[in-house]
Structure 1
Amino acid sequence: MARVALVNLASLPMPGNEPIFPIGLRCVQDALDRADHRTRLIDFVEDPGALEDLSWATEPWDAIGFTIRNIDPIDMSCDGHVEHYEAFVNRVRQALAAAGQNPLLVGGGPGYSLFADQLLARLGFDVGVVGPGEQAMLDILSDPERYREAGRNITGRRYSGFMTDLLQHPKSLMETYTKFEDAMIGVETRRKTCYQGCVYCPYAYISGENSGDLKPLDLIASELRAIHASGIRRVFFTDGIFNSELRYAKEVVRLVTDLNLPGLTWSAYFTPKPFDDEFAELLAGSKVEFVVISPDSLDDRVMKLLGKTFGTRHVDRCLERCRRHGIPTRVSVVFGGPGEDRESVRNSAQYINSRLEDGELVMHVGYRVLPQTGMARQLNMPDDDLVGPTFYPFHPDLFSWIIQDLDSRFMPAKVLINFMAVRSSSKRMTKVPLPAGLQDAAPTEFPYLALSRQLPLV
C-alpha cells in the first residue's frame, strides 16, 4: 500500500484557464483506491488555500502525481501554461527538500502526453505517463523504487476496471464544481480511438492503445444518477466522436431517455455521418442540450485538406434532420487552416450566412499546431519547437475577409471583442519562417508560423 497525492495542475489560477471537473484524475484516484492505496486529490478550486500553503506536500507521501490537461488554452490571444506549471512544481520541490521528504514525482494527463519528453525534463519528474493513467500508476506503485530518478516516460495501457467499476466522485468535489454557473461534468462512455484523421487533432495519440472498450450501460446509468443527485444538471459525454459507432450511441441515448432524470441535459461532439433519422428522433426525446458538429470549414476543398471524412452535403443533411426534430445545434468553424484563402473564406461565410441560424455558429481563428498530428508532420517541426503556442500560417488579411463576408448577426459585441483581441494578439506574435525547403510542401502560400509572444523555443 502506498500513500499518493494527486495534484490537479489544471486547477491552477492561470490566464485563459477555465477549470473543469478533473474526470481523468478521478479515474486514476478511483483505480488506486480500489487497489488499497491511500490517496488525496489536491484541487485548487476545491481548496484554494492549498495553492499557497504547501503543508499537504510535506506529508509522508510515497508518490505525488501531477496531471496536466492543457499546456495552453489553444487560443491565440492567450499565452501558455508551462511556465506556471514549472513555477508551482518548483515550489513543491523546495517544500519537499525543506521537509526532508523525497516522494516519487510522476507526471501525466493529456497535455503532458503530448509533450512528455519536453515536460519530463522541464518539470523534473522521476517518471511520466503517456496515455491512459490508471494501469500505469498501478504498475509504478507496485515497484516505485524502480522508477526513482528514472527520467523516462512509460506508455499507459488498458485498464480493465473501466468495464467493471462504478465511478463515484467525492461529494465535496462535486459540490465545488456545482457552484459554477452552467456547471457541467464529463462522462466517458467508451475508450476508442477516433476513426477520423483530422490533421490538427492529437486524440488518437493521447488515447493510446485502449482495446476499444465500450462502458456497460448499467455503469453509465449509475454514474448519471449519482451526478444528478449531486445537483449537477449538465453532462458532456467526452468521447472523441459520440456517434462514431451509431448503434452504441443509440443505446446510450435510449438510456438517458429511460432514466428521465429531472432537469438533466447533455451534449457531446458529433459527426454529420453516420446520423440517420432514427438517431435524430432519439436525440429529440433525450433532452440533448445541443448537438456539436465540427466541420471546421464549410469549404469542401479545405475540409478535405483538414482530413474530414465528410463534406458540406453531409452537414446539410445533419442540420436538416436536427431542425426537423427540433434539436439545437452548434457548428464549429475555425478559419485559418491548410489551404485557407480568399475564396474558401467567402465560401464558408456564404454557407454560414445562408444556412445557419442565430446562435448556431461557434467561430475561432487559428489552428494550434500540436505534436503527433498530421499538421505537425506536414510542417516537419520538432516537438521541442511546439511547446510555446504555435499556430498554422494564415494570410494576414484573414480577419478582414471574415469581417467583410460574415453577417453581423454572427458577430455580436461579445464575439467581436474577442475577435479583435485575437487579431491584435496575432499581430504581436513572433513570425517564424517554415523550415527550409518546406514552403511549397505546406498547402498554403504563407510561409510563416505564428509563435507565442512570451514563451521561447526550447
Structure 2
Amino acid sequence: MANVLLVNLGSLPMPGNDPIFPIGLRCIQDALDREGHRTRLVDFVEDPPAREHLSWVKGPWDVIGFTIRNIDPIDLSCDGHVAHYEAFLGEVREVLGSDRPLLVGGGPGYSLFAPQLTSRLGFDVGVVGPGESVMLDIVADPHRYTGSGSTISGGRYPGFVRDTLEHPVRLMRAYAARNGSIGLETKRKTCYQGCVYCPYAYVSGENAGDLKPMESIAAELRKAHENGIRDVFFTDGIFNSELRFAKDVVRTVIGADLPGLTWSAYFTPKPFDDEFADLVSVSNAGPVIVSPDSLDDRVMRLLGKSFDTRHVTRFIERCRRRKMKFKVSVVLGGPGENRESVRNTARYLNEHLESDELTLNVGYRILPETAMARQVGLSPDEILDPTFYPLDPEIFSWIISELDSRFLVTARMLNLIGGRTASRTMHKIPLDQAAFDPAAVAITRRSLPLVETRSGRGSRCV
C-alpha cells in the first residue's frame, strides 16, 4: 500500500483567489482510502499555517498529488495563478531535496494545459480529466512514472455510483466557517452542448452518463448540513441536461428537509418544463442561473447554443409566475459580435430583466480544446497566460449607450471604465474576416474586468 499526500493548490493564498471546497481531490482521496492506501489531504483553508511551515512535505510519501482547479483568478484584474503555483512547487522541491516521491498533477485547470504545466511545474506525470481510476493505477507502481513527463487521460470510476462520499468533518467545518458552501456532483456525463468557448466536455472526459443514486445524494446533503454547510452547488455542467434525473434530485432535496439549506446550479432554459419549475420553486433554491451569453439569436448560434431567445423568454416567464429567483448570464464580445448584436442583446435585457437578475461580462478567455481556440489558431503554449477573444474596443461605448440606466449601477460603471482603459492597450493583429464579424478586432493578454461571477463554483471557471 502507498503513502499518498494530496495538496489542494486551489487553496493557496493568491491575489484574486477564492478557494472552494476541494470536491475533486476528495473524490480521489476517497478512492485511495477505500483501496487501503494511506492518505493525507493538505488544504490551506483548513490549515492556514501549513502554507508557511511546509513540515508536512517531508514525510514518508510515495506519491504527492497536486490539484489545479483554476489557471486564472476570479478577479480578472489580477495576474494569472501559474506563477504562484510555480513558486510554491519550487519551495516544495527544495524541501524534498533530491530523494523525492513521485509528483503528480491534476484537476480541471491542469487538464487543459497538461503538457505545459507538467513541464513548467516539474511534475513526473499528469492526469487529464477524472482522476480516481488513473491515480489508483499510478500509486500501484509509482516508479513506473518517475520522470516520464507524460499525461494520462482519466475515465469512468465505478465508485462514483457505488460509494457515498463522506468528507472529513474538520475540512467541511473549515469551509462552513469560511463561506458555508460545498459542491456536490449528481452525475458525470459529457456535456451535450457545443459552446465554442467551453472546454467542459474535454475536462470531464468521455462518459455516457453515470447518475449518482438518490440515497447517496441525500446522505451527502445531510452530512454537509450536519457540519454547518448551508449552501450546496450542484457541480454538474448543466444540472437539468437530464431533466427526469434533475427532477428526482430536486425531490431528494425537498425530502431531506434540511432547515436553512439552499442550493443552486447551472441550468439551461431547455429542457425546463412546468413540472420542473414547480419543484424548484418549493425547494429553497438559490438563483436559477442560465447562460445564454448573448441574447441575439445569430450570435447565440455562433456560440454553439442549443436554444434561442424564445426558450430564454419561456424560462423567465416560468420563473416570474412562481416568484423564483433567477439570473441570466451575458458575455459580450464573442464570435460575430457587432454593434447590432449588442443593441439586440441590450434591447432584450431592457425589456425582460431587472438589474439584479443580470450577470454581465465582457470578453471570452480562450481555452485549449475549444472551437474558439481552433478558430483563432493559437496553441496552448500561446494562451497559457490569460488571452481573450478579439473584440471591437467600441463595445464598451455600445453597452453604455444601449442599456437602460437601471443596469448602469456604480459597480458596473467602474468595471466598464476599467475595461475601456484595458482595451486601449490591446495589440492589434490581422484576422480572417470570414471567421469574425467585427471590422475592428484586437487580442489582449490583459483582462477585461466587466465581471460579476459566482465564486468559481461553476463549470465555466478554469
**TM-score bin, normalised by smaller chain:** over 0.9
The aligned amino acid for 1:449 is I
Cα-to-partner distance string for 1:373-400 (whole Å, 9 max, x where unaligned)? 0101111111110101000011111111
Cα-to-partner distance string for 1:186-244 (whole Å, 9 max, x where unaligned)? 10000001111000000000001223100011100000000110111111100111111
Q: Which of 375, 378, 381 is residue 378 of structure 2 equivalent to?
A: 381
Q: Which of 413, 438, 459 is residue 444 of structure 1 equivalent to?
A: 438
The structural deviation recorded for 1:422 is 3.3
Measured on the aligned residues, the alpha-carbon RMSD in Å equals: 1.5
Residue 327 of structure 2 corresponds to which residue in structure 1?
A: 330
1:77/1:421 contact within 8 Å kept: no
Q: Secondary structure at the match of 2:356?
A: coil
Supply the distance in 2 between the matched residues of 1:418 and 1:226 (Cα, whole angstroms).
40
Residue 140 of structure 1 corresponds to which residue in structure 2?
A: 138
Supply the distance in 1 between the matched residues of 2:143 and 2:103 (Cα, whole angstroms).
11
Residue 298 of structure 2 corresponds to which residue in structure 1?
A: 301
The structural deviation recorded for 1:409 is 1.8
Would you say 1:13 and 2:7 are equivalent positions? no
Fraction of identical pairs, as percent: 64
**Within 5 A, what are the aligned runs for 1:41-52?**
41-52=41-52
Q: Secondary structure at the match of 1:195?
A: coil
The aligned amino acid for 1:21 is F
The structural deviation recorded for 1:348 is 0.8
Q: Which of 175, 178, 193 is residue 177 of structure 1 equivalent to?
A: 175
Residue 219 of structure 2 corresponds to which residue in structure 1?
A: 222
Change over 3 Å in CA distance of 1:88–1:426 after alignment to 2: farther
Residue 431 of structure 1 corresponds to which residue in structure 2?
A: 427
The aligned amino acid for 1:113 is S
2:338/2:437 contact within 8 Å kept: no
**Within 5 A, what are the aligned runs for 1:249-288?**
249-288=246-285
Q: Secondary structure at the match of 2:4?
A: strand
Residue 159 of structure 2 corresponds to which residue in structure 1?
A: 161
1:302/1:340 contact within 8 Å kept: yes
1:432/1:451 contact within 8 Å kept: no
The aligned amino acid for 1:167 is L
User: Which deviates the most, 15-24 or 104-113?
Assistant: 15-24
Supply the distance in 2 between the matched residues of 1:439 and 1:450 (Cα, whole angstroms).
18
Q: Secondary structure at the match of 2:64?
A: strand
Residue 456 of structure 1 corresponds to which residue in structure 2?
A: none
The aligned amino acid for 2:132 is E
The aligned amino acid for 2:11 is S
Q: Which of 232, 237, 259 is residue 229 of structure 2 equivalent to?
A: 232
Would you say 1:31 and 2:28 are equivalent positions? no
TM-score, normalization: structure 2?
A: 0.94
The structural deviation recorded for 1:434 is 4.9
The structural deviation recorded for 1:442 is 3.3
Supply the distance in 2 between the matched residues of 1:115 and 1:282 (Cα, whole angstroms).
40
Would you say 1:59 and 2:63 are equivalent positions? no
The aligned amino acid for 2:210 is D
Q: Secondary structure at the match of 2:393?
A: coil
2:392/2:441 contact within 8 Å kept: no
Q: Which of 149, 152, 166 is residue 151 of structure 1 equivalent to?
A: 149
The aligned amino acid for 1:139 is D
Supply the distance in 2 between the matched residues of 1:230 and 1:86 (Cα, whole angstroms).
34
Supply the distance in 2 between the matched residues of 1:434 and 1:10 (Cα, whole angstroms).
37
2:16/2:76 contact within 8 Å kept: no
Supply the distance in 2 between the matched residues of 1:441 and 1:261 (Cα, whole angstroms).
51
Supply the distance in 1 between the matched residues of 2:146 and 2:335 (Cα, whole angstroms).
44
Equivalent pairs counted in the alignment come to 447
Q: Which of 118, 121, 139 is residue 119 of structure 2 equivalent to?
A: 121
1:192/1:213 contact within 8 Å kept: yes
Residue 85 of structure 1 corresponds to which residue in structure 2?
A: 85
